[in-house]
Structures are given as C-alpha cells and as structure tokens.
C-alpha cells in the first residue's frame, strides 16, 4: 500500500503544473502538444528540452535528463529529494508530514541551516534599518539617493550595526559558530578567541537566488565611515558563487522572459533604481565581469544580453571579455554606454526611464562596439590610411585572441565573417588566413562532440532508437502503450507478466509497473516516474511513450503484441521440451530404470504434439 511519504509525493505532483513551474526558469514555447526550450542542464543552441502538459514530465533529447516536477527541482536547485518535495509542497500550500518515525524533528541539512542563518541575518538587518538610530541615518541616506519605501521593502534592504560582534551575538543563540563562519557572516579572530561580524556599519543589500532565498549579502559603506572598502560582498560559500550569482534575478526573471532581453549593470543601487523606474529586466553581476556561468544562467530566459557600461567601466578588458563571450556563447551580447562619469541610478533620477530606454535601444553588438571604440580611440587618425590599417589590425587581433580561447560554432563564425568582411573590406579567405584558418578546413571551428554521459545503469539507446527485431518491437510498444493507456493492463496481465520481458531494462520497468497496478491501480505517468530510482529507466520510460504515441491504434498494438508474446512463449516452451528430451535420451543410456525414461519421453512427446496443434501466430504484425 502507499505510505504517507508516497501519498504526499502524489499530492505534490497533482498540485504542481510542471509547465508553469519550468517556465519560471526556462523560456518555453508551445510546439504542438508540448512546450520546448533550451535545456537548463546542458549548453545548447537549438531547443531540445520538451515539457509535456498532458503527462506532466520533461525530457531533454540532448542530454537525456528527464523526470517529473520533483526531479526538475532536484536537478535545477541541487536539492535532495526531501528538500524538493518540501519546497514544492510549500509552493502548493501543502504541509509535508514528518518522516521521523519517533515523531521527533528531523536534523536539517547544512545547506538548509546556512539558508536559515542568512534568513535570520537578513531579518536582523532589516529590523535595524526600521528601528535603530543607525537605521535612521541609513534611511536618510537612501532618501537622499532617491530610493522610495517600496524599493527598500522589495529588495529587503537593511543596515549592519556599527559594532564588532552584534550580529554574532544575535545569531549565536541559534546557530553554531562554525556554521556562521562557513556562511561568511562572521570571521574568526586571529587570536582564535571568538568571531567578529563580516559586515559592520554598512548599508546591506541581500543577494538572493532565483527562488528569492537569501544566499549572501552585499554591503555599501555608510557615509562618514573610514573603511576604505566602499563595497563588500560575502565570501564564496556553499550557497554563494560570485561567478554565477546574479543580483536581482529573482525579481527580474519574469520580465526577462517576457522581453527576451536581460540588461546587466554594475551595482546593486543601479538595479534597485532601475526596478523603481519600471525597468524590471535589469540585473547585476555583483561588480565582476560577466562570466560564462552568468551567460549560461541568463540564456535560460533571454535571447539577448545588454551590458550597460558607464564611462568609467567600459575599459578595454571589459569590452574584450564581451567580444569573447559573443563569439563563444549561443546568445546575442550587446553593449550600451552612458555618458562619462554618470552611473545608471543617477541617470535614471535625472532623466527618467524613457531616456534610459533610448540608451539601451542604441546598444551595439560586441563586435560592432569594439570597432567603434577603436575608431574613437584613434580620433582624427581614424580617417587616414594608416589609422584605418591600425584599427583593422587591432580589431582583428582582438577577435583572433577571443577566437583562440575555444571552439566557435561554424554557423556563428560564418555570420561573424560577413560582418568582418563588410567592415574591413577583406575577403572571407583573407580573413581566415589572418585567423590562421585554412579555407578548406573552416569547419574546424565547430564544437567538439560532447562525451557520452554514463549512469549507474548501462547507457540506453537515444530517443531515435528504432526497435530492430519483432521481439524488441513487441516489448517496447506494449510497455509504451501501457504507460499511455494503463486501462489495457487488465487485459495484458492475463497473458503476460513482467518476467516475460526478455530485455533487462524493459523487465525492470515492467516490474515497477505491474507492482503499481496491483497495489495502487492505474498509474499517472509522472507519479510512476517518481518511483524509478534510475535515470536510465526514466529515460527508457520517456522513449517508450514517444514511440508508442507514433503508433496509429493502441488496441491493435496491444492485440498484436500479445499474440507475439504468446508465440515467443510457445517457442521457448518447445525449446525447453526438446532440451528435456535430449537430456532424457542421454540420461536413459546410463539409467537402471529405462521404463521411467520412456514414460517421461512419451509425456514430452505428447506435449510437443499439443504445441504443434496450436495456431501459428508468426504472421502477426511484429514478425
């Protein structure tokens, strides 16, 4: 019978719309009966990630990841099974029953404790902003900078105390010192005696993950402080990786999906002010250069990234980094610039959202921006023959350097060559020679094939698998049809049992299916997936459903498959009888009781005659 945990799992899956869940982090488009998008679990340019609304499961035909809503959350957020069920339950308003048989409270994982510590710290900082004298100073400063109360609440801004260990004393009552140190909230004293707060006398900007959970903090020094570090971020922790965390993404994600564009600025304040002005697709990469990991995250939601540089940040290194990403990443990367010395938050306060959008509309792709930047640096010399030659050389050198850092997709490189040819006047052959590429081997820039993924179970065939033998077809198509139309099982189980499947993996899947039908009744496909503890079996189940959906008539498929199973069972029995006769003949030569051998032989011969009278089913559709 179904246990309490299984019952809760079923409730969670029934209460969760997998299309809605996945569309919160993956841009999905309707294609026929399914939804498709770029897979969040591997890098790809052509969408191969499918989500089925009717069956409530996902499957990637590229990396073969598949499963139900719980599996998706486990893979996306790197949770364990219990954490994923609890999160989805909370999302659906369902309370998860305690799993401890003695009724005691379960021990939380370290990751959950770190999240809890950050949540308590964030509440502490927010409370100080609202109630303390130091908070009053911070609110005055925020008002002077133009931030309204709604923005302060939306981004959960706070202030850290102007003291050495006030946060530590507050959190130390609930969390061990070692955990707070791992969280980056406190630092150990060099003397080894105790800890002190990481953030002191700073305006606090909580850094949240895509789901809105606080995973780190950014702090801006308060006016009048003698601390030389204007900005301070949490150190890297099990929760926080600066190279892939994106400030404001939890609030910007929906608008990014709607506009298919993400605008990346430098600072926290710039993001807050942009959202305050209705520009809610703006995020920040925490004061570091845009990385491949950042692009991977953003490409799940956007087709285009606009880097907004002010005059102080648009250095050659930052531009060259953007060119590198433009060449290698499957997303458009453009650059826009503000006037020299003007930050985005200042620009918005002075000129408003409309003028800000005009700046963004003038964004140039990274290659175009690099060329115009070189022209500006050359000034009057740009119009001379020598100046143009220098600009072309510098431009191509920058692109060659970026291209040399890794493989570039052949189609993307072809489009880039057209841009370069129009800009420099050089032919494609001359350009390829400049980049050290022989014209005959231009395809060398294509990506290398990704290595085959291995699992604890032998790698199964891909979704393009075509059953080769009649037995293969009968087993796969019968099982696939049962997964789609479970009501046929009552008819099937009268003639076929799970042990009759000769393919190892089909038999394992049939074992689970037959047991579920006997104990629980007709299974819902996404709930059955949750019972499969092997990713290989989940992949097989998805493939069988795909194959069975292409068959014209499930009733005919079941009939023909059953006939084939009966035929194969008869053939196996014939072989077993003949083998028994053969063994009896060999044994009879040495036995002292030949009459017993004769009786056995006569019985076996009668059984073979009975088999011979049965109709020949070899002309069914699977032969």
Cβ neighbours for 424, distance < 8 A, ≥ 6 positions apart: 392, 395, 396, 431
Structure confidence at residue 568 (pLDDT): 82
Q: What local confidence, expressed as pLDDT, does residue 585 receive?
A: 59
Tokens of 78: 């790197």
- The pLDDT score that the predictor gives to residue 587 is 56
Rounded-to-integer distance, Cα 314 and Cα 369, Å: 11
Between 76-85, 458-467, 571-580, the lowest mean confidence (pLDDT) is in 458-467
Is there a contact between 251 and 301 (Cβ–Cβ < 8 Å)?
A: no
pLDDT at 483 over 60: yes
CA distance 117 to 377: 50
**pLDDT, greater one: 441 or 549:** 549
In the predicted model, what is the mean pLDDT of residues 587-597? 45
The helix or strand, by DSSP H or E, that contains position 364, with its residue range, turns out to be strand 364-365
Please check the confidence at residue 553 and state whether its pLDDT lies above 50: yes
Q: Report CA-CA distances (Å) from 235 to 186, 199, 221.
A: 10, 11, 17
Is pLDDT above 50 for 275?
yes
Beta bridge partners, 57, equal 52
State residue 10's pLDDT score.
83
For the stretch 296-311, pLDDT in tens is 888 878 889 999 987 6
Mean pLDDT of 475-483: 91
322-265-281-141 Cα dihedral, nearest 10 degrees = 170
- Write out the two tokens for 449: 């094939």
Half-sphere exposure for 67 (CA within 13 Å, toward CB):
20
**Whether 148 contacts 186, CB under 8 Å:** no
Pick the residue with more confidence: 296 or 283? 283
Q: Which carries the bigger pLDDT value, residue 535 or residue 176?
A: 176
**What's the confidence (pLDDT) of residue 458?**
33
The H or E element spanning position 575 is helix 554-588
Band the pLDDT of 582: cuts 50, 70, 90.
low
With a pLDDT cut of 70, the percent of the chain lying above it is: 83
Extract the tokens encoding 194: 């105790």
- C-alpha separations of 148 from 194, 202, 350 in Å: 38, 19, 15
C-alpha atoms less than 13 angstroms from C-alpha of 222 in its C-beta half-sphere: 20
Task: Give kind and range of the element (H or E) at residue 391.
Answer: helix 385-403
Phi, psi of 592 (to 5 degrees): -90, -5
- The pLDDT, as a whole number, for residue 318 is 83
Is 484 within 8 Å of 545 (Cβ atoms)?
Answer: yes
Q: How many helices (H) and strands (E) does the chain have?
A: 25, 16
Q: Using the predicted structure, report yes or no on whether residue 356 has a pLDDT greater than 90.
A: yes
DSSP state of 426: -
- Give which of 530, 619, 547, 498 is closest to 12, Cα–Cα: 530
The CA distance from 535 to 63, in Å, is: 12
- Whether the pLDDT of residue 617 is over 80: the answer is no
> Based on the number of CB atoms within 10 Å of its own CB, is 256 exposed (0-12), middle (13-18) or buried (19 or more)?
buried
More confident site: 588 or 343: 343
| CA nearest to 503, candidates 474, 466, 533 | 474
Q: What is the mean pLDDT of the chain?
A: 82
Residue with the two structure tokens 């009048």: 224
Per-residue confidence at 210, pLDDT binned at 50, 70, 90? Answer: confident
Backbone angles phi and psi of 337, in degrees to 5: -125, 140
Cα–Cα nearest to 560, from 490, 497, 494, 470: 470
- C-alpha dist (Å) from residue 306 to 283, 333, 366: 10, 6, 9
- The answer to whether the CB of 270 falls within 8 A of the CB of 344 is yes
Mean per-residue pLDDT for 266-289? 93
Residue 467 has which token pair?
A: 């059953």
Task: Indicate if the pLDDT at residue 149 is higher than 60.
Answer: yes
Q: Look at residue 517 and tell me whether its pLDDT is greater than 70.
A: yes
> Of 313-322, 330-339, 486-495, 504-513, which range is least confident?
313-322
Is this prediction's pTM over 0.95? no
pLDDT tens-digit readout, 42-60: 878 789 999 998 889 999 9
Q: Looking at the predicted structure, is the pLDDT value of residue 589 above 80?
A: no
- Res. 592: pLDDT tops 80: no
The dihedral formed by the CA atoms of 283, 288, 292 and 295, expressed in degrees to the nearest 10: 10
Model pLDDT, residue 441: 36
Quick: pLDDT tens for 153-203: 999 999 999 999 999 999 999 999 999 999 999 999 887 778 999 999 999
Judged on CB neighbours under 10 Å (0-12, 13-18, 19+), 621 is middle
> Residue 4 has what pLDDT?
47
CB of 121 within 8 A of CB of 185?
yes
* Confidence at residue 565, expressed as pLDDT on a 0 to 100 scale: 87
Q: Which run of H or E residues covers position 51?
A: strand 49-52
Which of residues 441 and 502 earns the better pLDDT score? 502
CB atoms within 10 A of CB 534: 15
pLDDT digits (tens, 9 = 90+) for 469-478: 888 888 999 9
| Ramachandran class of 411: left when φ > 0, alpha when ψ lies in -120 to 50, beta otherwise | alpha
Examine the pLDDT at 394 and tell me if it is beyond 90: no
Residues in the chain: 623
Per-residue confidence band for 574, with pLDDT thresholds at 50, 70 and 90: low
- CB neighbours of 391 closer than 8 A, spacing ≥ 6? 371, 374, 375, 378, 382
Q: For residues 322 and 367, give the distance between their C-alpha atoms in angstroms, rounded to a whole number.
A: 9
Q: Regarding predicted confidence, which is higher, 95 or 613?
A: 95
Residue position matching structure tokens 């600009």: 391
Binned at pLDDT 50, 70 and 90, residue 581 comes out as low
283 strand-pairing partners: 264
**Among 159-168, 333-342, 467-476, 590-599, which is the least confidently predicted range?**
590-599
Question: Rounded to whole angstroms, how far apart are CA atoms 142 and 163?
Answer: 21
- 29 forms bridges with which residues in the sheet? 36
Decide which of 561 and 312 is more confident.
561
**Residue 138 pLDDT exceeds 90:** yes
Query: Contact at 8 Å (CB) between 148 and 276?
Result: yes
Q: Which of 279-288, 358-367, 604-613 has the lowest mean pLDDT?
A: 604-613
């Amino acid at each position: 019978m179904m246990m309490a945990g299984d019952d809760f799992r079923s409730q969670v899956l029934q209460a969760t719309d997998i299309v809605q869940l996945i569309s919160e982090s993956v841009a999905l488009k309707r294609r026929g009966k399914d939804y498709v998008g770029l897979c969040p679990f591997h890098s790809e340019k052509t969408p191969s990630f499918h989500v089925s609304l009717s069956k409530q499961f996902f499957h990637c035909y590229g990396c073969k990841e598949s499963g139900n809503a719980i599996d998706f959350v486990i893979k996306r957020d790197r949770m364990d099974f219990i954490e994923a069920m609890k999160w989805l339950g909370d999302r659906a308003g369902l309370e998860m029953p305690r799993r401890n048989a003695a009724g005691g409270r379960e021990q939380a994982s370290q990751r959950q404790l770190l999240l809890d510590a950050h949540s308590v710290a964030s509440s502490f900082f927010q409370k100080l902003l609202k109630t303390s004298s130091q908070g009053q100073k911070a609110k005055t400063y925020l008002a002077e900078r133009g931030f309204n109360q709604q923005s302060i609440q939306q981004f959960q801004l706070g202030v850290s105390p102007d003291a050495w260990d006030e946060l530590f004393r507050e959190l130390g009552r609930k969390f061990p010192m070692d955990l707070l140190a791992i969280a980056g909230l406190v630092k150990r004293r060099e003397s080894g005696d105790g800890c002190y707060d990481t953030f002191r006398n700073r305006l606090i900007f909580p850094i949240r993950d895509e789901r809105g959970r606080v995973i780190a903090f950014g702090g801006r020094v308060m006016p009048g402080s003698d601390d030389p570090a204007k900005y301070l971020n949490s150190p890297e922790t099990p929760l926080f990786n600066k190279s892939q965390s994106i400030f404001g993404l939890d609030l910007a994600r929906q608008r990014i999906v709607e506009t298919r564009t993400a605008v990346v600025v430098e600072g926290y304040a710039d993001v807050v002010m942009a959202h305050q002005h209705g520009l809610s697709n703006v995020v920040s990469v925490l004061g570091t250069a845009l990385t491949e990991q950042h692009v991977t995250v953003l490409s799940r939601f956007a087709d285009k990234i606009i880097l907004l540089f002010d005059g102080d940040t648009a250095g050659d290194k930052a531009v060259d980094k953007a060119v590198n990403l433009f060449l290698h990443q499957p997303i458009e990367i453009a650059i826009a610039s503000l006037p020299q010395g003007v930050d985005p938050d200042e620009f918005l306060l002075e000129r408003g959202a409309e003028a800000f959008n005009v700046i963004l509309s003038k964004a140039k792709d990274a290659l175009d921006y690099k060329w115009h930047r070189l022209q500006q640096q050359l000034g009057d010399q740009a119009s001379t023959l020598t100046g143009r030659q220098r600009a072309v050389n510098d431009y191509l050198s920058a692109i060659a350097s970026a291209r040399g850092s890794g493989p570039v997709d052949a189609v993307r490189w072809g489009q880039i060559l057209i841009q370069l040819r129009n800009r420099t006047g050089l032919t494609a052959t001359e350009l390829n020679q400049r980049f050290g590429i022989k014209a005959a081997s231009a395809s060398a820039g294509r990506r290398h094939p990704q290595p085959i993924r291995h699992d604890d179970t032998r790698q199964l065939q891909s979704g393009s698998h075509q059953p080769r033998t009649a037995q293969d077809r009968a087993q796969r198509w019968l099982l696939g049809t049962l997964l789609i139309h479970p009501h046929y099982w009552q008819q099937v189980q009268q003639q076929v049992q799970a042990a009759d499947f000769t393919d190892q993996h089909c038999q394992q899947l049939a074992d689970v299916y037959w047991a579920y039908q006997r104990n629980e009744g007709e299974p819902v496909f996404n709930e059955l997936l949750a019972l499969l503890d092997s990713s290989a079996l989940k992949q097989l189940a998805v493939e069988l459903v795909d194959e069975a959906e292409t068959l014209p008539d499930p009733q005919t498929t079941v009939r023909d498959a059953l006939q084939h199973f009966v035929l194969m069972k008869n053939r196996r029995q014939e072989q077993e009888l003949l083998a028994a006769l053969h063994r009896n003949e060999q044994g009879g030569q040495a036995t002292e009781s030949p009459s017993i051998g004769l009786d056995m032989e006569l019985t076996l011969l009668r059984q073979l005659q009975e088999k011979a009278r049965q109709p020949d089913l070899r002309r069914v559709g699977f032969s």
